[in-house]
Amino acid sequence: MIVIAGLFLSFSALACTNANSSISNEKDGVESDSTKGDVPGDETSKPEYLTVETFKEKIWDYEKNPQEWVYEGSQPVIIDFYADWCKPCKMVAPILEEISEDYAGKVKVYKINTDKQKELASVFQVSSIPTFLYIPASGQPQMDKGYKDKAAFERIIKEILLVE
């Protein structure tokens, strides 16, 4: 279990360590703040990259509500905390793209580069990657880490995110 601003988030283990490595293969420039795929039912939905600002706007403004989880979105979310140098992160990226397309309009997939968004990695105490934050439309978020195959993500979506 991990406590974030008074919230309890559950964890299971398997991942790369050294999440805050300064090594990065990402191209110079700013992460994409693409809004492609924001339209429910958009079949070309792709994971969207979050910054501190977009995280606060779309997910949780932890400065405004430091003691209480107040989800700003309306649909379930998977957030992938990753780094470009991490092999398991690279392996899970195409799976999350498939999940984003398969569940377009039902589950949103976001990505947070822990090398570029160190504040967000710190807020969630991400010490190994990939780490995933699962946010149901209502209820408390849960965290998990380590590589997962598509079947594992589909099970999580069914059991945690799309529960009525």
Active site residues: 86, 89
CA 51, chain centre distance (Å): 11
Which tokens belong to 65?
Answer: 């509500």
* Distance (Å, whole) CA 139 – CA 161: 10
- Looking at beta carbons, which pairs linking 105-108 to residues 24 or more positions away fall under 8 Å? 105/39, 105/40, 105/41, 105/42, 105/45, 105/75, 106/75, 106/76, 106/162, 107/75, 107/76, 107/77, 107/78, 107/157, 107/161, 107/162, 108/37, 108/45, 108/48, 108/73, 108/75, 108/76, 108/77, 108/78
Cα dist from 117 to 81, 107, 139, whole Å? 9, 23, 25
